[in-house]
Structure 1
Amino acid sequence: MDNYAFPPHFLEQLATEPGFNEASFIEAHQNNTSITSVRLNPFKLSPLKTDGQVAWCAEGRYINIRPSFTFDPLFHAGAYYVQEASSMFIAHILQTIRPDKEEPIKVLDLCAAPGGKSTLLNSALEPADLLVANEIIKTRVPILTDNLTRWGTSNTIVTNNDPRDFSAIKGFFDVVLVDAPCSGSGMFRKDPAAMNEWSEANVNLCHQRQERILADVYPAIAEDGYLIYSTCSYSHQENEDILDWLCAEFDMESVRIPIYKEWGIVETESPQQKAWGYRFYPGQVLGEGLFAACLRKRENSGGSNYKSNAQQKLPMKEIEQIKTYLNSPEDFYLFKVAEDWLAINREHKESLNALHRHLYIKKSGVRIGKLAGRDLIPDHELAQSLIINKDEFLTTPLNKDQAIQYLRRDNIDITIADKGWSLMEYEGLALGWAKLLPNRINNYYPKEIRILANAPGN
């Protein structure tokens, strides 16, 4: 890649940004030294082989040779998430502002799809904490729900709302992450086609959109709560200028995040309000372009009593039946949506009811399935969850070829010894359900997420 491949005036503008090293930046793009990184699921230990640690994230790992993730059953089992290393810095910010985990918190990931930062946040949370993952664009919600389902936790709610809808739940969230839509210059190395879409006009448009999103969600942040702001842009207008605007227009103060020199991250200060920001430049960090910052809200936007006495009248006999399929069933609030039974951590019952009054909810906790007489028709979410009582189900171990057959919804080359609902497992991790019958296997892996591509070499 020659210098002229960058958009006009791009390097000239970037040369004025704090800590920018033009030579290393150009070399990183010319040599295409991008490195693949993944983040391990701390709740699902796996034998995944990696080649190094991401310095600012405990579960972050580098992989020198990029495998075909589509054809890795461990990926489909939720053992890891393929995530760009720089963006894992958000976990370091969360750990900094929350050194202890004594008091439960409520966290909002406002622009959450496809789910990388949602699963990142979720890994750092306790069951008593709540994560609300929101996606503004309806067509992107399914991939968000799929990725959170793979992660397996039950303390999550997925919503599909505009940022302005959150202004109705004042002071509700202790932490709000806004990974804002941006001009995308930080992804030039990973996605060279993005260069053709970059322009100064688009940067200005993104700046205006970012201000609107932040103003809309601001009331939902609790007093002394935190806003984590990030972009994959190098542009001052979308980064330091946004911090100046936040501190000038709202009662917010900057939070300094500790970093180590060897990480290669550049610490900056906004020109007017001296708000701390953190820049990631390829060639200086082992990752792509990122900007991140954290601010504390000092004022009280008001709020309401979000407690609710709403309670579904559910048959105790069915409740007791559902409980048998869960580990530690006393820890969960059970409820129904149409004919489906769901479970969420008991601590989140009131929050779920409050959010339901104001937001469109796509996913709540874990969908367990439907009761048909004495039998459960189990849901895919239950199979991949951490709350399932595996003693109530058959399990069928698969080798890699069999696992791929299952994930493609092909016929599985396996000898049937039992009959009934079975968890289909690879390396001890559940992929989904199959119904074992005397003369065949009915594959219940969801059609919408099955592998469609041909295996490498075919």
Structure 2
Amino acid sequence: MNEQQFPHNFLSLLSAENGFDEESFIKAHQLNDAPTAIRVNPFKPSAQKTDQQVPWCADGFYLNTRPSFTFDPLFHAGCYYVQEASSMFIDHIFKNIRQNDAEPVKVLDLCAAPGGKSTLLNSAIGPADLLLANEIIKTRVPVLTDNLSRWGQANVIVSNNDPKDIGRLKSFFDIMLVDAPCSGSGMFRKDPQAMNEWSEANVELCHQRQERILADVLPALKEDGYLIYSTCSYSQQENEDILDWLCQEFEMESIRMPIYKEWGIVETKSPLQKAWGYRFYPGQVKGEGLFAACLKKKTNTGELGTFKNNMQQKISSKEIDQVKTYINNPDNFYYFKVNDDWLAINREHKETLNILQRHLYLKKSGVRVGKLMGKDLIPDHELALSTIINKDAVLQTELNHDQAIQYLRRDNIDINTTEKGWSLMNFEGHALGWAKLLPNRINNYYPKEIRIFSQAPGKD
């Protein structure tokens, strides 16, 4: 890729930015090979082969070559997430603002699909903390739900709401991540098609949309709460100008992050309010384009009114005891039903769940355990992938790689077993899902909608 292949006027605008190195930027795009990185799941340690660590994220690693993740059972088990390295800087920001704070927090990821930053935040919080992962676009919610289910934690709720709906939850969240929709120039190397869609007019439209999204959702952030703002754009209008607007209109305070020179990150200041921002340029960092910043809210925008929850379900303690059998440390969880499905969420989040159920459209809450049919549980896929499952209460069948791929394709599985009943199907000790073992066959219950469709490399 040469200079002429970038959109008209793009490089001339970017060359005005402090710290931008045009030569290394063009060279990085000419190479065409974006670095491949993964972030391992700390709740599902595996013998995953990794190479160089991402410097700003302890769980992030660069890979020397890009494997076929589709045909790695550990990927489907949720042992790691394939994530662009620059975006892992959110972990560095989050841990810096939380380093001296032991109080439980409620965290919002507003524009969460496909789930990379949500799983990152989920790794950084504890059981007493809660993550609400919201996706505005309905068609993008299933992939977000699937990725968070793979991650396996019960302190997560997924919603599908407009920022205005969430903004009505006055002073509800302690930390808010807005990875805002943007013009996408930071993805030019990874997605060359984005160049055809870039224009100065589109940058201005994105700037206006970002202001609207932030204005709608900011009432839900507590006084002294933190906003992490990020884009995959290089345009000042979508980055530093937004910081100026936030400081001026909402009296927000800029928070400076500690970084090391060898990371190659460019620290910037916004033109008017001198708010700190962090730019990632391919060629200067081993990653794609990113802008990130952190601000502290210094005003109070009211409180969410209290309400009495008169809609508590009347559920059988006998049924709860049946469900508890399948859960590790069962008394740590609150159990509830949605239609015929039993779900479990960390006990600390019962009241928060009630509030969110009243105000938002929820798509996932905690872990879906399954349906009770008499004395039996028909277990849900979420339970299989969760870290709260009591594995001593269920059968487990270990699969080799070929058998695991057969299972993930929903094919017939070639195994010999005398066991009968519901069984976790494991690869290297990590659950992939459920199958029912019968005397003359095995019924594969891997969800149809996420099964592997493609052929393995080298296969006809």
* Residue equivalent to 1:153: 153
Q: TM-score, normalised by structure 1?
A: 0.99
1:210-221 equivalences under 5 Å are 210-221=210-221
What corresponds to 2:72 in structure 1? 72
What is the percentage of aligned positions where both structures have the same residue? Answer: 74
SS in 2 for 1:4: helix
Query: Residues 72-108 of structure 1: CA distance to partner in whole angstroms, max 9, x if unpaired?
Result: 0000000000000000000100011110352000000
1:40-99 per-position Cα deviation (integer Å, ceiling 9, x unaligned): 000000111111100000100000110000010000000000000000000100011110
1:337 aligns with 2:338: yes
Question: Match of 2:415, as an amino acid?
Answer: I
Q: Once the 2 structures are TM-superposed, how far is the Cα of residue 399 of structure 1 from its aligned partner? A: 0.5
Output one character per residue of 1:172-195: Cα deviation in whole Å (capped at 9) or x when no partner.
000000000000000001111111
Cα displacement (A) at 1:306: 4.5
Q: Kindly provide the amino acid, as one letter, of the partner of residue 339 in structure 2.
A: A
Identify the residue that residue 21 of structure 2 maps to in structure 1.
21
Q: 2:184 is matched with which residue?
A: 184
How far the C-alpha of 1:304 sits from its partner, in A, is 2.3
How far the C-alpha of 1:32 sits from its partner, in A, is 2.1
Q: Does structure 1 residue 372 correspond to structure 2 residue 373?
A: yes
Partner of 1:103: 103
Amino acid at match of 2:209: R
Q: What is residue 406 of structure 2 aligned with on the other side?
A: 405
Distance, in Å, in 2 between the alignment partners of 1:417 and 1:186 is 54
Q: Helix, strand or coil: the match of 1:136?
A: coil
Alpha carbons of 1:330 and 1:307: their partners in 2 closer, same or farther (altered >3 Å)? farther
- Aligned equivalents of 1:340, 1:91: Cα separation in 2: 34
Q: Distance in 1 between matches of 2:182 and 2:337?
A: 39
1:258 lines up with 2:250 in the alignment:
no
The alignment partner of 1:52 has SS state of coil
1:195 maps to: 195
* 1:437 match: 438
Equivalent-residue separation in structure 2 for 1:120 and 1:47 (angstroms): 20
Spell out, residue by residue over 1:357-382, the C-alpha distance to the aligned partner (whole angstroms, 9 max, x if none).
11000000000000000000000000
Query: C-alpha separation between the residues in 1 aligned to 2:93 and 2:43?
Result: 21
Secondary structure of 2:230's counterpart equals: strand
Moved over 3 A (4+): 305-310
Cα distance in 1 between the residues matched to 2:101 and 2:79? 24
Contact 1:307 1:351 in 2 (8 A): no
- Are the counterparts in 2 of residues 308 and 350 from structure 1 also a CA contact under 8 Å? no
For 1:226 and 1:454, locate their aligned partners in 2 and report how far apart those are by CA, in whole Å.
45
1:146-195 per-position Cα deviation (integer Å, ceiling 9, x unaligned): 00000000000000001010121100000000000000000001111111
Cα distance in 2, alignment partners of residues 177 and 47 from structure 1:
31
Secondary structure of the equivalent of 2:39? strand
Any conservation in 2 of the 1:343–1:368 contact (CA below 8 Å)?
yes
Partner secondary structure for residue 139 of structure 2: helix
Aligned equivalents of 2:68, 2:414: Cα separation in 1: 22
Alignment-derived partner of residue 249 in structure 2: 249
Counterpart residue identity of residue 268, structure 2: T
What amino acid maps onto 1:75 in structure 2?
A: F
What amino acid is aligned across from residue 445 of structure 1 in structure 2?
Answer: Y
Q: Which sections of structure 2, spanning at least 5 residues, go unmatched?
A: none
RMSD: 0.9
In 2, Cα distance between the equivalents of 1:307 and 1:146?
A: 32
**Secondary structure of 1:119's aligned partner:** helix
SS in structure 1 at match of 2:176: strand
CA distance in 2, matches of 1:369, 1:189: 43
Aligned to 1:448: 449
Could you say if the C-alpha distance between residues 306 and 119 of structure 1 is closer, same or farther in structure 2, counting changes exceeding 3 Å?
farther
SS of the residue corresponding to residue 8 of structure 2 reads coil
- Confirm or deny: 8 A CA contact 1:157 1:363 kept in the other structure: yes
Task: State how 1:1-40 maps to structure 2 within 5 Å.
Answer: 1-40=1-40
Question: 1:155–1:345: 8 Å Cα contact kept in structure 2?
Answer: yes
Q: Secondary structure in 1 aligned to 2:17?
A: coil
Q: Corresponding residue for 1:54?
A: 54
In 2, distance between residues paired with 1:128 and 1:357?
21
Once residues 298 and 426 of structure 1 are traced to their aligned partners in structure 2, the CA distance between those partners, rounded to angstroms, is: 49
Query: For the structure 1 residues 101 and 324, does the alpha-carbon distance in structure 2 shift closer, same or farther, using more than 3 Å as the test?
Result: farther
- The alpha carbon displacement at 1:313 in A equals 1.4
> 1:325 Cα deviation (Å)?
0.7
Distance 1:101 1:419 in 2: 49
- Contact 1:281–1:288 (8 Å) recurs in 2: yes
Q: Deviations over 1:189-215 (max 9, x none)?
A: 111111111111110000000000000
Which 5+ residue runs of structure 1 have no aligned equivalent?
Answer: none
Counterpart of 2:426 in structure 1 is 425
CA distance in 2, matches of 1:101, 1:236: 32
Alpha carbons 1:112, 1:135 under 8 Å: kept? yes
Structure 2 CA distance for aligned equivalents of residues 31 and 328 of structure 1: 51
CA distance in 2, matches of 1:11, 1:221: 36
Question: CA shift at 1:18, angstroms?
Answer: 1.9
Letter in 2 for 1:213: I
Structure 2 length normalisation: TM-score? 0.99
Letter in 1 for 2:439: P
Question: How far off is 1:27 after superposition?
Answer: 0.5
